[in-house]
Amino acid sequence: MRILILLVMACWSFTNRAAAALRPPGVPTVRKHLVYLRDKANTPYSLSAPQRFLTARALERRTRQGIALQSRDLPVDPVYVEQVQSVSGAKVWYTSRWFNAVVVECDSATLAVVQALPCVRSARTLNRSGVGVVVSPVGEGSAPTVARPAGTRADYGRAYAQTHQIGADVMHDAGFRGEGMQIAVFDGGFPGVNTGAVFTSLYQENRLASVYNFVGRDQNVYQYDNHGTLVLSTMAGNQPGVFIGTAPQATYHLFVTEDVASEQPVEEVNWLIAAERADSLGIDIINSSLGYNTFDAPSVDYTYAELDGRTALSTRAATVAARVGMLVVSSAGNEGNNRWRYLTAPADADSILTVGAVDSLGARANFSSIGPTADNRLKPNVSAMGRQAAFVYPSGAIGRGNGTSFSSPITAGLAAGFWQAHPTLTAQQVIEYLQRSASQATTPDTLLGYGIPNFGRAQQAVAGIPLPTAPTVGVGNRVQLYPNPVPAGAAACTLQLPAELRSQPLEVRLYDVRGTLVTTLLLPASNAAIVQLPTTALRPGVYSCRLGRSGGPPYTLRLIRL
């Protein structure tokens, strides 16, 4: 089942879905099949000449992460493809390097002939009913607007809460907005992306690198369901004063993999083919706000036992995508308050970042799917705001809705900026640091995983600074410094004081990494819970901040100055 928003505001429009659900009468079903080939023994491609099938950026991503090429990276044998294509009535739609297979459209009688070929190992039917959707494309073109850097709460509009909760606003102020990172978005359609003001900087700055509709084998992506538009806006939105997403300067690829008119395993294969294209293009991050457990034909529904990281088609594809160095970010699912309760594929995949949902206060959203996987691995990995998350409609209106469909891209944008800040990390290290930064990193569970990730804490983890056991999100009765890291150029940071440190003078001493006293500040007695700590004189670096009080032990915190 596709992961859609569970509860949305009253202004939600079902126009695109209703249009997509209209099927031309009397058109017969033509089935698609995943045909597995026997081998790659005689392929003309070689691992010694990978530039024939992988871009320089794809090869660089592997080299940077120490990932060796394997036979799965080789394209299928073109001679085998020709043999399948030569069967009368068989139409080859796609080939799959990773699964050594071809997607073939044909009837049952033709499939029997295909399966008899010596080059064919086996076949699986991917759709039992339904036909393609025909919708007129949305017109292109919009007037560009000039974007400016994010900085204030007002700049983010309604996106501020979900951005601030994970420290993405601090990340932006530190200069990491996703520049140079490439993100592929797999979804069911992107109407309005080519006309909306919140997306115009994508075109103005040439950051919309490619689009493709894997359902119709064309480039018509600005149509069908608006789910993809809403998802994209939480990352790529870039209209200061109205809405800013978590990765407003990243480069994007928009891939339609979901056929909104039906629910068939062929959509999981579309996911696979899109992931292979993402790999070959050198894309860094895949966001998948999609999930599968039930289909139009109940006989192919997944059971919970099959959510083991090895069974579902999309799960197997996501696992390989992670193995070749891409960071796959997936919605956990919206099944937490129904009979299924658990994750949906591909969220059960190993080595990917599966994201659950919380509200603005950090409490778990009851619809958020839970773990563990069937083979008892911890899922979700982390959680972010998915209850009453803000997004942008194709019309440009700002809305709010519920779903892990939103917590996933919000987190993917955080991952993009964090990876930009630390480009030598591997995708798996990015996951590790985000988990270590999260609000319940020391006590993970199958409801929220490691909790809510935070950019500042992830920065501390990379720097080797011991993290406090208490989360840095929210306000409580503990000493806190924020934003931390302190952005370059910031005149001060905020020092939060518990009740026991108020109403008495405080001495604040800052030491550098060598233990040298850099400065001493005297704070007069005050009942204020929040005071400002000047940082203008501090050079970029890591500092130990010690708070002393009369008659009591000192409090020590770490401070990073960017």
Catalytic residue among 405, 407, 408, 437: 405
- What's the one-letter identity of residue 409? P
Q: What is the DSSP letter of 119?
A: T
Catalytic residue among 227, 279, 348, 408: 227
Catalytic residue among 73, 187, 259, 279: 187
The token duo for 501 is 């440190």
Expressed in percent and rounded to 5, the helix, strand and coil fractions of the chain are 25, 25, 50
Find where tokens 């058109």 sit: 27
Contact indicator for 17, 252 with CB cutoff of 8 Å: no
SS3 assignment for 363-425: CECCCCCECCCCCCCCCCCEEEECCCEEEECCCCCEEEECCHHHHHHHHHHHHHHHHHHCCCC
- What's the one-letter identity of residue 125? T
How far apart (Å, rounded) are the C-alpha atoms in residues 455 and 422? 12
Helix/strand/coil for 210: strand
Whether the bond into 346 is cis, omega within 30 of 0: yes
Q: Give the Cα-Cα-Cα angle 37, 42, 48 (nearest 5 degrees).
A: 110
DSSP letter string over 259-315? -TT---THHHHHHHHHHHHHHHHT--EEEE---BS--SSGGGPPPGGGTTTTSSHHH
Clarify whether 289 is annotated catalytic: no
Closest CA to 257 of 126, 111, 392: 126
The token duo for 221 is 């992506």
How far apart (Å, rounded) are the C-alpha atoms in residues 245 and 413? 8
512 burial via Cβ count (<10 Å: 0-12, 13-18, 19+): middle
Clarify whether 330 is annotated catalytic: no
Clarify whether 142 is annotated catalytic: no
Kindly give, in sequence order, each residue whose CB lies less than 8 Å from that of residue 299, ignoring residues fewer than 6 positions away: 128
Whether the bond into 485 is cis, omega within 30 of 0: yes
Closest CA to 223 of 248, 252, 184, 194: 194
Whether the bond into 240 is cis, omega within 30 of 0: no
- Residues annotated as catalytic are 187, 227, 405
